[in-house]
Amino acid sequence: MGKCYLCGNDIQIIKDKPYKYNECGLDVTLFGIIQYHCQNCNESYASIPNMQKLHRVIGAYICEKRKALLKPEEIKFLRKDLHLKAKDLAQALGVTASTVSRWENGKKEIGEAHDRLLRSIYIMYTSEQSNHFICDGVINLFKELPAKRKKIKQPVTISLNPQEWLSCMGESCLA
Ligand SMILES: [Zn+2]
């Protein structure tokens, strides 16, 4: 029998009870998780294998299965799972950090375009076939776009020499 990590008393092992994984900020229930309960200090805890993969599955579920606009807690979950600060996500999406905070505390709805872009970024970074050079290239490209861009008035010409397209054949020019 195991011991409680808090008080050292014998701990009760619970095997067949669904576990509410609310620590992730979402309403997630896990089945088949071993749980422990200490009757002495009334503490319960669970042993969750491979949390990182679990978070990836939850994130993919949100991006692929949730048809409505992302909810505040879902936006926060995706951002945190990408290890992005509100400021960094804001930069990538072309909004201010306070806009991201407002999405996450429910004071503002995310909107169609940003919802789709956030899902794209999440899937881009977390898919098994993910190429980090391309992902980081796209994010850096977004970040380098100046905030509050204006329409340009004069026409823009693009001038290229053959070596400029021949030298980036087969490789992403973003990287
Ligand atoms: Zn205890």
Flag the least confident range among 23-32, 137-146, 165-174: 165-174
| Shared-domain flag, residues 87 and 136 | yes
pLDDT of residue 169: 60
In Å, the largest CA–CA distance within the chain is 77
| Shared-domain flag, residues 133 and 55 | yes
What separation in Å is there between the alpha carbon of 7 and the centre of ligand 1? 4
In a domain, residue 124? The reply is yes
**Pair 72, 106: CB distance under 8 Å:** yes
Model pTM above 0.85: no
Position with higher pLDDT, 21 vs 164: 21
pLDDT of residue 172: 55
| Shared-domain flag, residues 20 and 86 | no
What separation in Å is there between the alpha carbon of 151 and the centre of ligand 1? 64
Q: Please, which residues bridge with residue 13 across strands? A: 36
In the predicted structure, residue 148 carries a pLDDT above the cut 80: no
What separation in Å is there between the alpha carbon of 41 and the centre of ligand 1? 4
- CATH code, 87: 1.10.260
In a domain, residue 169? The reply is no
pLDDT of residue 1: 67
At CA 71, angle to CA 142 and CA 83, rounded to 5? 45
Burial of 63 (0-12, 13-18, 19+ CB in 10 A): buried
What separation in Å is there between the alpha carbon of 35 and the centre of ligand 1? 14
Mean per-residue pLDDT for 64-75? 97
Domain membership of residue 26 as a residue range: 12-47
